[in-house]
Amino acid sequence: MPKTPDYFSGKTIVITGAGSGIGRATALIFAREGANVVCADINGAGVTETVEQVNAKSGQALALTIDVTKRAAVEDMVQLAIDGFGSVQFLFNSAGAAVRRSKFLDIDDDLFDRTFDLNVKGTFYAMQAVLPHMLKNQFGVIVNMGSMTHRRGGPGSGVHYAAAKGAVVTMTMGVAREFATQGIRALSISPGPIDTAFQAAAATTPEMAEQMLNDVPMQRFGKPEEIGELVLFMCSDACAFMTADTVYVNGGGGWR
């Protein structure tokens, strides 16, 4: 929560991957705090549903069907956000996925490229698109979605995904340090298993789901809202000295 009452009122956040899961939960949390929410997702129906839920709570939201792997589309996303609400203070790059599971020796060029296009380039394009605007205003907070897998390496099924998320965490650190004196903060979140459609797809068998759960000392999966509240804190004036870090949210899992 922010230190200042109504801190988010009238400010604008752009959220990629807002059509479901953590992205949608975060959109609803920022709307609760009075922020304008630009909801972007390749899933047009999903992002429209998110905006309908925001509007039902009397929030101000804009739905954009965007493929974050396309630089021009991401640049349009940021420009539409600025045109619609005047300025953008916050960016949450939630869009990402493992694309599909694969043993290391079976990872081909197509899978590797699509995984990096979505997770790394999508984050890279959005940061490059919004940073000139934030630098002009000498204020901005960027939160990127990492993953606990970047510490484990994803052996057996997700080395490509773990490597991509490792790149996101490193890129976040670099951006944070490069622009730290210019009013910009950049952070990442590295969740363990969260109860989303993405997590359900990752747990391809009951045995896999049980193994994931056994890795969590709290013996439960996280909730999307628990990540969304962390994004809110990171963007708030209660967190003004924090930048360049990734926060591990995993119910006590020892994957560090």
Catalytic residue set: 161
CA distance 121 to 54: 28
The DSSP string of 154-196 is -TTT-HHHHHHHHHHHHHHHHHHHHTGGGTEEEEEEEE--BSS
Nearest Cα neighbor of 94 from 64, 53, 75, 122 is: 122
Largest separation between any pair of C-alpha atoms in the chain: 53
CA 197, 74, 158, 193 dihedral sign is: negative
Given a contact cutoff of 8 angstroms between Cβ atoms, the answer to whether 77 and 1 are in contact is no
Angle CA(20)–CA(18)–CA(172) in degrees, nearest 5?
A: 120
